[in-house]
Structure 1
Amino acid sequence: MHLEGTVLVGRDFEPVEGRVVVADGEIVRIEEASVESDAVILPAFVNAHTHIGDSIAKEAGEGLSLDELVAPPDGLKHRLLRDADHEEKVAAMARTLRYMEATGTGTFLEFREGGIEGVNALRDALAGEGVPFGERAIESVVFGRDDPDVLSVADGYGASGARDADFDAVRAATREAGKPFGIHAGERDADDVNAAMDLDPDFLVHMVHAEPIHLERLADRGTPVVVCPRSNLVTNVGVPPIRELNKRTTVALGTDNVMTDSPSMFREMEFAAKLSDLPAREILRMATVNGAAIAGLNRGVVEPGADADLLVLDGDSDNLAGARDLVRAVVRRAGQADVSRVVIGGEPVVPRGD
């Protein structure tokens, strides 16, 4: 298989006219050539932090505080999840998976509530169990929660926050299992950041309230951070210092709770770009290769040897036609209507899953 158009190549997304050649799920080569295509080819997105279980209750809880919305064990989302049956949760998550594919996400890192049962529900949604539109191609890295035994079925452990429980034993278990450990930190305030960092996590999520001492620790340790600025704004906790974090460590983008925000990386990129005023290439890295690096994956970049997870946009759409800076246009302007093709694992995905 090959794709033709303007290819955004490598970590700097240099625009090259030509084609991407794919075989056996891998990018084989990039050929520079004159082609008759307005397509723009870039890596499929890596959404580095999601909670898609709460797809059962979109836009619930207006006016509630962060703790009232999502704090375990009795925040609104946790009560709603307990009340929903397995089939309802699977069907709702499957719809979200289909939407993420349609908006160019090839991989997502999920903090999955509900222990072993919760992880199995997500696996069922990915496999298309009991839903009319079948198996999804999107790839997952599932961080289980709520039960140390979840490591038997999950890809890692995603802790709610250092103030919620003692995670020392779980952290030790992840090391023994050779699986990653992530934890929320600095979302509501700065009080839990040092305790979270003392666990030596593989990555932190949010860091809205990172103080100078925390920024120094990040720089010393190189601990990656996933930021979710739209979610933080909605829950009224502030917005992360993206520029300062980016100076010190690897930063990736996530869309967080489906309850509060659509899992669209287009929307997240646009908001992060306008909030931080960082160069578009930095933001696009946060939406692709940086998230892949946090998960230890060989994707998020268009170069030979990388996994063939690709997003093709219509460069002649009414929205993108006339763009002078393609990378900036992708980050600040592109959206679902511009998607013409998504390739995951070297196989084309029909954007709407129909």
Structure 2
Amino acid sequence: MFVEGTLLYGRRFDPIEGRIIIEDGEIVTIEEVAVDSTDIVLPAFINAHTHLGDSIAKEAGAGLSLDALVAPPDGLKHRLLDSATQDEIVAAMRRSLRLMTASGTAACIEFREGGVDGVEAIRKAGSDLPIETVVLGRESEAAMHTADGFGASGARDGEFEQIRSATRDANKLFGIHAGERDADDITPAFNLDPDFLVHMVYPNTDHLTRLATEQIPTVVCPRSNLVTGVGVPPISDLAERTTLALGTDNAMLNAPSMFREMAYTAKLADVSARTILEMATINGAEIANLDYGLIEPGCEAKLLVLDGDSDNLAGAQDIVRAVVRRADRADVSEVIT
């Protein structure tokens, strides 16, 4: 099969007119040729941090603090998860996964509450959907072994040395929240040698230096940080120092839309549109060890096709900027996963 249009090619997302040749789900050739299509073709998104169990309680807890909303074990989300049936949680997560698929997300990195049962629930929710869910179990070593790794709530919430060691021995991903409320849990998170960090709203100069030295990938979730009132991550500083990806965080607080996350980040942070698109695609893929997120030969063909002649995108002078700041689900022509 082939896809034609303006292709956002390579890591710099250089717009070229041409055609992508796909065989057995892999990009085999990029042909830079004149084509009739006005479509815009880019890598499908990687949502690098989600909590999809929260889909059972969208817009709950208005006005509550971050701890009251999500802190284990008694935050509102945990109480709502405890009171819901497994079937209710599975159905709600499935809706969010369908929404993500339709809006161009090829994969997400999910911090999944509920131990082994929680991991099994998200597997069931996405079992026949094209979106790839990289599941990080929580609360037990058994959940980690059932999942693709372990997602720690934060160094202030418990002792994670043993589970970190077990996750490393299992050759699986270990991610941890850090610096969301304040800077106090950042150094303890560093000391666990995580595969990636989430949030990093409050790094100090020493933290930024260590982040650059140790090259610890980081995921920021700026819309979530806005809603919970914890502050704004120093996106430019983080992007200069390490691999930086984007996530939508709690489905309770925000729709899991990478379009919205990119547009908000673009208007909040002093970084280029290309940097933000990289955060939404290849950087998340690299954190999750996925072989896509770029339009290049040899990559899996996980692609998003936008209607470049839509009322929203027609006339765009800077294609990458338009995709990052302006595009939305209504512009999606096709998602190839």
Q: TM-score, normalized by length of structure 2?
A: 0.99
SS, match of residue 157 in structure 2? coil
1:179 and 1:287 mapped to 2: Cα distance? Answer: 22
SS, match of residue 317 in structure 1? coil
Deviation at 1:205, TM superposition (A): 0.1
1:45 and 1:76 mapped to 2: Cα distance? Answer: 29
Deviation at 1:315, TM superposition (A): 0.1
Deviation at 1:57, TM superposition (A): 0.3
Q: Residue in 2 aligned with 1:339?
A: 332
In structure 2, give the amino acid aligned to 1:294. I
Q: Residue in 1 aligned with 2:248?
A: 255
Deviation at 1:151, TM superposition (A): 2.0
1:277 and 1:195 mapped to 2: Cα distance? Answer: 29
Deviation at 1:153, TM superposition (A): 1.0
Q: Residue in 2 aligned with 1:166?
A: 159
In structure 1, give the amino acid aligned to 2:120. N
Q: Residue in 2 aligned with 1:22?
A: 22
**Cα offsets for 1:250-272 (capped at 9, x unmatched):** 10000000000000000000111
1:303 aligns with 2:296: yes
2:90 and 2:23 mapped to 1: Cα distance? Answer: 32
Q: Residue in 1 aligned with 2:73?
A: 73
In structure 2, give the amino acid aligned to 1:117. D
Q: Residue in 1 aligned with 2:179?
A: 186
Q: What are the equivalent positions in structure 2 for 1:35-54 lying under 5 Å apart? A: 35-54=35-54
Q: Residue in 2 aligned with 1:140?
A: 133
Q: Residue in 2 aligned with 1:236?
A: 229
Q: Residue in 2 aligned with 1:63?
A: 63
SS, match of residue 3 in structure 1? strand
Quick check: 26-35 or 39-48, which moved more? 26-35
In structure 1, give the amino acid aligned to 2:154. G
2:86 and 2:235 mapped to 1: Cα distance? Answer: 37
SS, match of residue 35 in structure 1? coil
Same amino acid, percent of matched pairs: 65
User: Structure 1: which 5+ runs fail to align?
Assistant: 128-134, 345-354
SS, match of residue 333 in structure 2? strand
2:78 and 2:118 mapped to 1: Cα distance? Answer: 12
1:153 and 1:300 mapped to 2: Cα distance? Answer: 26
Quick check: 269-278 or 196-205, which moved more? 269-278
SS, match of residue 163 in structure 1? helix
1:180 and 1:89 mapped to 2: Cα distance? Answer: 24
Q: Residue in 1 aligned with 2:280?
A: 287
1:153 and 1:23 mapped to 2: Cα distance? Answer: 32
Moved over 4 A (4+): none
User: Structure 2: which 5+ runs fail to align?
Assistant: none
Deviation at 1:225, TM superposition (A): 0.5
1:82 and 1:148 mapped to 2: Cα distance? Answer: 20
Deviation at 1:180, TM superposition (A): 1.1
2:145 and 2:255 mapped to 1: Cα distance? Answer: 30
1:140 and 1:27 mapped to 2: Cα distance? Answer: 22
SS, match of residue 156 in structure 2? coil
Q: Residue in 2 aligned with 1:324?
A: 317
Q: Residue in 1 aligned with 2:201?
A: 208
* Total equivalences in the alignment: 337
Q: Residue in 1 aligned with 2:144?
A: 151
Q: Residue in 2 aligned with 1:114?
A: 114
1:278 and 1:245 mapped to 2: Cα distance? Answer: 10
1:144 and 1:25 mapped to 2: Cα distance? Answer: 29
1:155 and 1:180 mapped to 2: Cα distance? Answer: 6
**Cα offsets for 1:200-256 (capped at 9, x unmatched):** 100000000111111011011000100000000000000100000011111000000
SS, match of residue 54 in structure 2? helix
Q: Residue in 2 aligned with 1:347?
A: none
1:125 and 1:149 mapped to 2: Cα distance? Answer: 20
1:199 and 1:172 mapped to 2: Cα distance? Answer: 9
In structure 1, give the amino acid aligned to 2:279. M
In structure 1, give the amino acid aligned to 2:37. S
**Cα offsets for 1:139-187 (capped at 9, x unmatched):** 1110000111112210010000000000000000011100010000000
SS, match of residue 206 in structure 2? helix
Q: Residue in 2 aligned with 1:196?
A: 189
Q: Residue in 2 aligned with 1:218?
A: 211
In structure 1, give the amino acid aligned to 2:143. V
In structure 2, give the amino acid aligned to 1:91. A
Quick check: 315-324 or 30-39, which moved more? 30-39
SS, match of residue 126 in structure 2? helix
In structure 2, give the amino acid aligned to 1:86. Q
